[in-house]
């Protein structure tokens, strides 16, 4: 897979499912943080359309399992499915709505200066080899395009919003991921 960023902030050679849930980054914001999440919609169910439907505001909110999500406007730059498929939902030039109330290294509003990657999964489910491989490939490309995303500026949602979030969770193998990045 040869990923390249085009002039609009979209990576080539991956699926695009644009979300309307984004806005401009502040002019002074330099992308310097990568935030890893996990998500499944509905919870614990994989391989369905729920994540993309949520990010595109097209979930059937009349269904009981989705009623609590009605009116929620969220997105991430990328989603990595269980089989390793990478989907881009927001241009890297824009501010995706993935971090919420957050702080990293004393600076709040992480959405302003971060890229968010959602791994299809849950806190209690191991991630797949294919997901780790795609995450590794994507991260390396992002680090070339955004060199301020150094090893110490790759974090989980749980670290930037510790009172609210638990993802990517205890089943995410940080050691495996970070050792792969340096090898």
Return the DSSP state at 123: T
3-class DSSP assignment, residue 31? coil
Which residues are bridge partners to 22 per DSSP?
A: 96
CA distance 92 to 78: 9
146 contacts 32 by C-beta, under 8 angstroms: yes
Alpha carbon distance 168, 40 (integer Å):
11
The residue annotated as part of the active site, out of 118, 120, 130, 158, is 118
Does 118 qualify as catalytic in the annotation?
yes
Residues 6+ apart with CB under 8 A from 146: 31, 32, 92, 115
Q: The tokens of 22 are what?
A: 């984004």
By annotation, the residues acting in catalysis are 118
């Amino acid at each position: 897979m040869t990923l390249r960023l085009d002039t609009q902030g979209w990576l080539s050679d991956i699926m695009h499912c644009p979300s309307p849930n984004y806005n401009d980054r502040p002019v002074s914001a330099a992308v310097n943080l990568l935030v890893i999440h996990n998500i499944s919609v509905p919870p614990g169910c994989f391989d369905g359309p729920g994540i993309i439907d949520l990010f595109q505001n097209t979930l059937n909110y009349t269904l009981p399992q989705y009623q609590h999500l009605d009116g929620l406007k969220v997105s991430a730059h990328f989603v990595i499915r269980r089989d390793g498929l990478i989907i881009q939902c927001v241009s890297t030039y824009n501010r995706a709505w993935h971090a919420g109330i957050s702080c990293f290294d004393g600076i709040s509003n992480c959405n302003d200066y971060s890229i968010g990657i959602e791994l299809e999964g849950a806190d209690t489910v191991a991630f797949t080899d294919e997901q780790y491989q795609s995450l590794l490939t994507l991260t390396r490309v992002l680090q070339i395009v955004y060199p301020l995303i150094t090893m110490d500026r790759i974090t989980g949602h749980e670290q930037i919003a510790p009172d609210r979030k638990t993802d990517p969770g205890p089943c995410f193998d940080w050691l495996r991921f970070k050792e792969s990045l340096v090898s």
